[in-house]
Chains A and B, each alone.
Chain A
């Protein structure tokens, strides 16, 4: 451990940071006597936040940033003139454990550029996590990338030590992937995904009969798509996500707003700034599918292939379907209450449990944390009928809700009337 390691660490962190996956959730594993580490499950634990506001939960690092591929969107592409470095197994193991002991991290997120061939690279990565688990008895979280094109044997071995594995889809459609990364194809991504899923389901089956069978990737797998590097619509992306979430092992799909790291490449679009708002809307849509019981075709369809950047997808859905509202807070199903803009999962649960004791009114709802600014147009509760979306018309309501926030200096005394066009 010395300054050379510090240099390597900086270079390889620089190369690894564009991977968005950060979660340390999904596995609950208690520590054993005399060993280091546990995993908490639930939401996982973030340990720090960098200046871009992204969390640092795992030591996200590459084994090497040498790569035989030349993908247009990637900073580590073969033709880029950047500093290259490679960690030895010992250095990486030592770093992980020492960082973990100081509560800097939840565990290791190991990724790598491809050297020689996928299997050769994968073998080296497996060696790191195997050493952590078997020799150092490290019980913390391990997330390992599976290299596209790696063999089933190696995926099976990695799965015994990793909590979560991931293979990045990067570009949502095959034809665009071919454009930006001619050496890659979707088969080489879907194949390892299938291996991971097979191993997982197999282990779950086996553990029903023999409890001591080791767990295989207990936290499932995730993947990532780059948004804005190619011309896919949000419909393409969300449909693909919905298909991926149908697989029992797929826990998360991450969206990465395209950052032009190789701006000289003419195949890539020229963007004034990273599409951060679009990325945010995609995550919101993703949440709607995972926690709010929305179907993909309710969020985007042929008439509206792209998400509205000014309003969130849930509000957009509500404005397209005024006939579903107003919702009676004191009677409606949980699933319908979830669909009201301004009510989240937590407050929907609070409402459903509380209304058994008596009818709820608007001030109680406000206290519970419901965003009445939005919700008031979509609900009725134990009060006189309110001014709902049907009276205001969706177009006008959209205008009210997208009005820029009032500044401090504005005159509150002056009455303002917005006239419908």
Chain B
């Protein structure tokens, strides 16, 4: 069994593809640096991430695949799922080796699986567009904590930049400890040093803007009134709005 060790970055994965082709040996398994090697390892190789190599692989893929399929690759990478790197490696290898485009061959289990994972990740991004709830802080910055299961925030953030162009906002991923800040001009990535007070998903009342409490009450009142008693269906509600989002939803707090 041949194992490649790499630094668990996307560039690292692309460099691994490059090195595999130049060495003409293809790994059976990809592992992170420092991971425990499997018991039956005949040979191993450690990938040194290099930007020029990863860029070359990516441009090759862009030539070979449609924009949609390239997006699928990045989406699948953002899933952070166990074994997804092996899957992506196999997919990229198939894409490079095949004379015809493989991207619609859903009879192939790797192609289908990439498609399904990418769909899950973009659905998580859609969940973010739906369930992000801003709270207005005293300094006029709108703040929203999130903790998606996949790292979907980078996909969804363009939507918020376009939509809320005339207000400052922060969307912060509490699980991965990073977020985005929009300062009325550009959106940039930020990391907060101390985020313990945010864990509850609610801003402290003395940090809120003065009308924030009122609008939260208005929204809660509205939300409650919209229910039609004769049709109550809590299962359907949970199906559309999974419980893991509830702690950040104003109307459910």
**Chain A interface residues toward B at CB < 8 A:** 1-2, 5-6, 9-10, 13-14, 17-18, 30-38, 40, 45-56, 59-60, 95, 98-99, 101-104, 257, 259, 273-274, 276, 350, 353-358, 360, 364, 367-368
A350 CB contacts on chain B under 8 angstroms? 106
Q: Which of B20-28, B57-65, B74-82, B125-133 contacts A (4 or more CB under 8 A)?
A: B125-133
When A50-B223, A104-B133, A355-B107 are in contact, do A36 and B218 touch as well, CB less than 8 Å? no
Among B164, B231, B235, contact of A36 (Cβ-Cβ < 8 Å): B164
Q: B227-246, CB under 8 A of A: which get 1 and which 0?
A: 11111111111011100000
The answer for the CA separation of A5 and B219 in the assembled complex, in Å, is 11
B134 CB contacts on chain A under 8 angstroms? 101-103
Query: Lowest 6 A-B CB distances belong to which pairs?
Result: A53-B236, A353-B104, A52-B231, A13-B225, A354-B106, A357-B105
A6 CB contacts on chain B under 8 angstroms? 217-218, 221
Tell me, rounded to whole Å, the shortest Cβ–Cβ distance linking B135 to chain A: 7
Interface of A is mostly: loop
B159 CB contacts on chain A under 8 angstroms? 40
The answer for the CA separation of A367 and B114 in the assembled complex, in Å, is 13
Contact present for B221 and A357 (CB under 8 Å)? no
Q: Is B51 an interface residue (CB 8 A)?
A: no
A33 CB contacts on chain B under 8 angstroms? 165
B100 closest partner in A (C-beta) = A357
A45 CB contacts on chain B under 8 angstroms? 126, 129-130
Contact present for A60 and B226 (CB under 8 Å)? yes
Among A9, A32, A360, contact of B218 (Cβ-Cβ < 8 Å): A9
B219 closest partner in A (C-beta) = A104
Contact present for B225 and A17 (CB under 8 Å)? yes
B226 CB contacts on chain A under 8 angstroms? 13, 17, 50, 54, 56, 60
Q: Is B9 an interface residue (CB 8 A)?
A: no
From B135, B232, B233, name the one whose CB has the most chain A CB atoms within 10 angstroms: B233
Tell me, rounded to whole Å, the shortest Cβ–Cβ distance linking A226 to chain B: 14
Q: Is B163 an interface residue (CB 8 A)?
A: yes
B239 CB contacts on chain A under 8 angstroms? 53
The answer for the CA separation of A18 and B228 in the assembled complex, in Å, is 8
B136 CB contacts on chain A under 8 angstroms? 101-102
Among B225, B227, B233, B250, contact of A102 (Cβ-Cβ < 8 Å): B250
Q: Is B68 an interface residue (CB 8 A)?
A: no
**B120-151 with Cβ < 8 A to chain A:** 126, 129-136, 142, 144
When A13-B222, A34-B166, A49-B237 are in contact, do A367 and B251 touch as well, CB less than 8 Å? no
Contact present for B237 and A10 (CB under 8 Å)? no
B217 closest partner in A (C-beta) = A6
Contact present for B130 and A52 (CB under 8 Å)? no
23 sampled A-B residue pairs with Cβ under 8 A: A1-B214, A2-B214, A17-B227, A35-B166, A36-B165, A38-B162, A45-B130, A48-B130, A48-B131, A49-B240, A51-B227, A52-B227, A52-B229, A52-B233, A52-B236, A59-B222, A99-B219, A103-B134, A354-B104, A357-B105, A357-B107, A357-B108, A358-B105
Among B126, B165, B233, B249, contact of A48 (Cβ-Cβ < 8 Å): B249
From A40, A52, A54, name the one whose CB has the most chain B CB atoms within 10 angstroms: A52
**Chain B interface residues toward A at CB < 8 A:** 102, 104-109, 112, 126, 129-136, 142, 144, 159, 162-167, 211, 214-215, 217-219, 221-237, 239-241, 249-251
Contact present for A47 and B131 (CB under 8 Å)? yes
B241 closest partner in A (C-beta) = A49
B167 CB contacts on chain A under 8 angstroms? 36, 101
Contact present for B218 and A5 (CB under 8 Å)? yes
B234 closest partner in A (C-beta) = A51
Contact present for B234 and A104 (CB under 8 Å)? no
Contact present for A367 and B231 (CB under 8 Å)? no
Contact present for B221 and A101 (CB under 8 Å)? no
B164 CB contacts on chain A under 8 angstroms? 36, 101, 103
Among B112, B142, B241, contact of A101 (Cβ-Cβ < 8 Å): B142
Tell me, rounded to whole Å, the shortest Cβ–Cβ distance linking A11 to chain B: 8
The answer for the CA separation of A18 and B226 in the assembled complex, in Å, is 9
Contact present for A14 and B104 (CB under 8 Å)? no
Contact present for A46 and B240 (CB under 8 Å)? yes
When A104-B250, A354-B107, A367-B109 are in contact, do A14 and B225 touch as well, CB less than 8 Å? yes
Tell me, rounded to whole Å, the shortest Cβ–Cβ distance linking A284 to chain B: 16
Contact present for B237 and A52 (CB under 8 Å)? yes
B249 closest partner in A (C-beta) = A48
A46 CB contacts on chain B under 8 angstroms? 130, 240
A32 closest partner in B (C-beta) = B165
A17 closest partner in B (C-beta) = B226
A98 CB contacts on chain B under 8 angstroms? 211, 215
Given contacts A52-B229, A259-B228, 9 further A-B contacts (CB under 8 A): A38-B162, A48-B131, A53-B239, A53-B240, A56-B223, A101-B167, A274-B230, A274-B231, A367-B109
Tell me, rounded to whole Å, the shortest Cβ–Cβ distance linking B107 to chain A: 5
B162 CB contacts on chain A under 8 angstroms? 30-31, 38
Contact present for A259 and B231 (CB under 8 Å)? yes
The answer for the CA separation of A30 and B108 in the assembled complex, in Å, is 38
When A13-B225, A274-B231 are in contact, do A36 and B109 touch as well, CB less than 8 Å? no
The answer for the CA separation of A213 and B174 in the assembled complex, in Å, is 46
Contact present for A360 and B107 (CB under 8 Å)? yes
A103 CB contacts on chain B under 8 angstroms? 132-134, 144, 164
The answer for the CA separation of A103 and B144 in the assembled complex, in Å, is 10
The answer for the CA separation of A14 and B105 in the assembled complex, in Å, is 50
B221 CB contacts on chain A under 8 angstroms? 6, 9-10, 13
Contact present for A55 and B107 (CB under 8 Å)? no
Tell me, rounded to whole Å, the shortest Cβ–Cβ distance linking B203 to chain A: 12
When A1-B214, A47-B131, A102-B133 are in contact, do A353 and B166 touch as well, CB less than 8 Å? no
A1 closest partner in B (C-beta) = B214
A54 CB contacts on chain B under 8 angstroms? 226, 228, 231
The answer for the CA separation of A34 and B144 in the assembled complex, in Å, is 21
B132 closest partner in A (C-beta) = A103
